[in-house]
Amino acid sequence: MKNNVLLLLLITLLFLPFEKVSAQCFAEVTYPTADTTICVGQSVNLQAFASCSYLMNNNFNNGQIGTGWSSNANPMYNNPCGPGLPGSGVHCWIGSATNFPRELVTNPFLLFNGCNISWEMRYAADENAIDCEDPDEATEGVHLQYSLPPYTTWLDINYWTPNYSYSGPLYVWNEYSQAVPVAAYGSATKIRWYQNLTSGFEWDHWGVDEVQIVCPQSQNIFWSNGPTNTLSQTVTPTMTTEYIVAIFDSLGNIATDTVVVNVIPIPSADFATESPVCVNQPSTIGLAGTADPNVTYTYNFNGGTVVSGSGAGPYEVSWPTPGTYNITLTSTQGACSDSEVRTVVVNSDITVSISPSSASVCPDSSVTLTASGGDTYAWAADPTLVSDNTGIAIATPTAQTTYSVTASNTMGCTGTSTVVVNLYPTPNISVSPVPSAGCIPVVVDFNSDISPAAISYSWNFGDPTSGAANLSTMDSPIHVFSNPGEYDVTLAVVSIHGCPASAVYPSMVKAYDVPIAAFAADSNMINLDNATVGFTDMSVGALSWFWDFGDFGSPTNYSFETSPSHTYTSTGDYIVWMVVDNGFCSDSAYTYISVIQDIAFYIPNAFSPYNEDGINDVFMPAGIGAGMGDNTYRMLIFDRWGQLVFESEDVATGWDGKINGEFANQNVYTYFIEVRYADNLWRKFWGKITLVH
């Protein structure tokens, strides 16, 4: 109930023209020191000094003399002689503006027991050439005085005498306090700080600060928006509001002060971005609504490049690298601003892949190229490429070719990739048959030279009659051509790159038929006495003939006749060769011809050397055509115990039947005879000889 009454009183008083100071009460909004402006949503802490105890409370920090008093001295508020006590801020300084007297006089106050006056004060001490000359005469000090109505006289409460040395407590800032003397009690007492004399304008300066006159009072504090008995509150007005602080005391004194908190709306920083975008693809960034001409819009594009746009936008902004970019828009109107952040996702251009990443094909072969990473594809035109927009293309290059595809996705990001398709060389086939021609059976060694090298071979020798041997998979096969003819050889290979190739070599191999050499001699053993031999040709397919009769000393040893004859002039065994030729192939045949001479060779079977009758005394062979000449004869005789008893190499020297000069016993002995006949052939004879006494 009490509060309601007080509130009603406050409301009533608010419509009355009160001032900050009303009689004993003083109220002042100390923060903010003047009407202020905030933004919607912001708060301001209102602080007040309100007291009916403080008849006056001036610290001059606002550069004004403050309420509750006045001065004739045009005080300064710029500390010309140095700062005051710590935290005191600006003080009230009595400088050169006036001569004398100089005074600071309060309004009339109700002063009673317990009232106190406190302040800070100092005299100048020549700190500065101007406004800081020191009071130094005994009459140049400051009097603290009071005066009662009708204010015709003043009386000192105290006086502070200067000194000629301008030093001491008076010449530095000090706090002073004086109880209001009983004589000054009254309902309308004035207080003043009074300098009676000076030496002139530029002389004898001084100052005061933190001046307070306090008289204890019961009091009530109200704020127009509700709070009571508090000197501070935090308000968050949504519209411009006037706040009044009021203080009442028990005597009905009231003081109020007012501050207006202007509220302005926070400018919208709502904006929109186009996201995602691709690298270097502009994102459109602009206000979500209409730009306010009173608002300053400041964008921070976080490193983006402005392609177009200014002021409030819209802008076209791009970023060179992928990432997520926070875009800030700050809208400012006066002291109010707002910032909002939007994100632009900058995607990298898509990565396009082509499978296979590289390829090589054989001539006239194709490879399927498959692009991926995008949604649509465009292959660069190439006459060797067949493609559509699905990303699949078939390349049939005729040379090494680079194919390019550009892919796009639904966000418009693009990417390009290329693939090089190499063309393998066609295998170069070279076949060297050794020999390339011959007489059947022609054994041909096929040597192949494949470049690049082959990994498989397939031969066809054109000789189907050879059956399975007509084909081969060897790199260097050997084939036997058994039949005469000309053969087309085919070789198909697959190179190490997998490229096939084949080559056909017509009539690469020529196989010729072979003639058959055959002949018949009239006789193969003839007598030297009639040593002419006729040879009869029995060859097949021969077109030419060559004869070698083996009679090398004979001028007619050779013959090209078909059926020649030859006459040997000496005994011996002769090899007669016949070589026939059909122009490509030849054949030969031979036979032995023995030319002999008649031979008579007799070996007795007993002899009788002991009787020395001249008949059959010596054992020796006899004959013709044998053992003629050196080393053509040898005879060995052994007794019945195998002991050699006689030896002779002269056909004319026979065994006389003696052994070691003595006639051998009558007995049967064994002879062994080797003799070379006229035909130079050795013949051997062995048998028994009986020695008869």
Partner 1 sequence: MKGFILLFIMFPLLALCQNEPARAITLGYEQLTGNWTEISSVEGVIFYAKKADCNHPENGIFQEMALIKVVNTTPYNITVSWDLLQWLDGQLWTRLPVRAEKKKLIHLEEGNSLEGSCDQDSDYYSSLTVFCRFLNYDDKPELTKFELSNIIITPYEK
Stretch that binds partner 1, among 162-170, 419-427, 467-475, 639-647 (CB under 8 A): 162-170
Binds partner 1 (CB under 8 A): choice among 33, 74, 113, 161: 161
Closer residue to partner 1 in complex, CB, 179/443: 179
- Should residue 382 be labelled a site residue for partner 1 when binding is judged by CB under 8 A? no
DSSP label at 346?
E
Nearby residues of 536 by Cβ (< 8 Å), 6 or more positions away: 519, 520, 521, 522, 563
Query: What is the secondary structure of 91-129 as a DSSP string?
Result: -EEE-TT--S-EEEEEPPEEE-TT-EEEEEEEE--S-SS
Closer residue to partner 1 in complex, CB, 200/629: 200
CA distance 503 to 501: 7
Binds partner 1 (CB under 8 A): choice among 15, 164, 552, 641: 164
By rule CB under 8 A, what string of x and - marks binding of each residue 172-211 to partner 1? ----------------------x-xx-xx--x--------
Residue 206 Cβ, how far from partner 1 at the closest point, in Å? Answer: 16
The H-or-E segment that residue 71 falls in is strand 69-71
Stretch that binds partner 1, among 145-153, 212-220, 349-357, 514-522 (CB under 8 A): 145-153
Binds partner 1 (CB under 8 A): choice among 43, 64, 165, 376: 165
- Should residue 145 be labelled a site residue for partner 1 when binding is judged by CB under 8 A? yes
- Should residue 670 be labelled a site residue for partner 1 when binding is judged by CB under 8 A? no
Closer residue to partner 1 in complex, CB, 163/436: 163
- Should residue 83 be labelled a site residue for partner 1 when binding is judged by CB under 8 A? no
The edge-to-edge listing of strands for the beta sheet with 471-472 is 437-439, 500-512, 485-495, 454-460, 471-472
Inter-residue contact 270 to 288 (CB < 8 Å): yes
Number of H helices, E strands in the chain: 1, 60
Nearby residues of 132 by Cβ (< 8 Å), 6 or more positions away: 80, 81, 95, 124, 125, 126, 205
- For the record, the structure tokens of 572 come out as 């011996």
Closer residue to partner 1 in complex, CB, 101/452: 101
Closer residue to partner 1 in complex, CB, 152/238: 152
Residue 296 Cβ, how far from partner 1 at the closest point, in Å? Answer: 60
Number of residues binding to partner 1, judged by CB under 8 A? 26
Strand partners, 287: 271
Inter-residue contact 99 to 204 (CB < 8 Å): no
- Should residue 98 be labelled a site residue for partner 1 when binding is judged by CB under 8 A? no
Binds partner 1 (CB under 8 A): choice among 31, 77, 159, 584: 159
- Should residue 649 be labelled a site residue for partner 1 when binding is judged by CB under 8 A? no
- Should residue 150 be labelled a site residue for partner 1 when binding is judged by CB under 8 A? no
- For the record, the structure tokens of 105 come out as 């006089």
CA distance 249 to 216: 10
- Should residue 513 be labelled a site residue for partner 1 when binding is judged by CB under 8 A? no
Binds partner 1 (CB under 8 A): choice among 32, 82, 89, 101: 101
Closer residue to partner 1 in complex, CB, 181/623: 181
Burial class, 151, CB count within 10 angstroms (exposed 0-12 / middle 13-18 / buried 19+): middle
Closer residue to partner 1 in complex, CB, 131/210: 131
Residue 199 Cβ, how far from partner 1 at the closest point, in Å? Answer: 4
**Taking Cα atoms as reference points, which of 323, 304, 315 lies closest to residue 273?**
315
Give the three-state DSSP class for 332. strand
Closer residue to partner 1 in complex, CB, 202/573: 202
Closer residue to partner 1 in complex, CB, 100/535: 100
- Should residue 105 be labelled a site residue for partner 1 when binding is judged by CB under 8 A? no
- Should residue 674 be labelled a site residue for partner 1 when binding is judged by CB under 8 A? no
Residue 3 Cβ, how far from partner 1 at the closest point, in Å? Answer: 47
CA distance 593 to 573: 6
**Taking Cα atoms as reference points, which of 657, 678, 665, 558 lies closest to residue 613?**
657
Closer residue to partner 1 in complex, CB, 165/532: 165
Binds partner 1 (CB under 8 A): choice among 8, 11, 130, 138: 138
Terminus-to-terminus CA distance in the chain, angstroms? 202
Q: Which residues bind partner 1 (CB under 8 A)?
A: 100-101, 136-139, 143, 145, 147, 152-156, 159, 161, 163-166, 194, 196-197, 199-200, 203
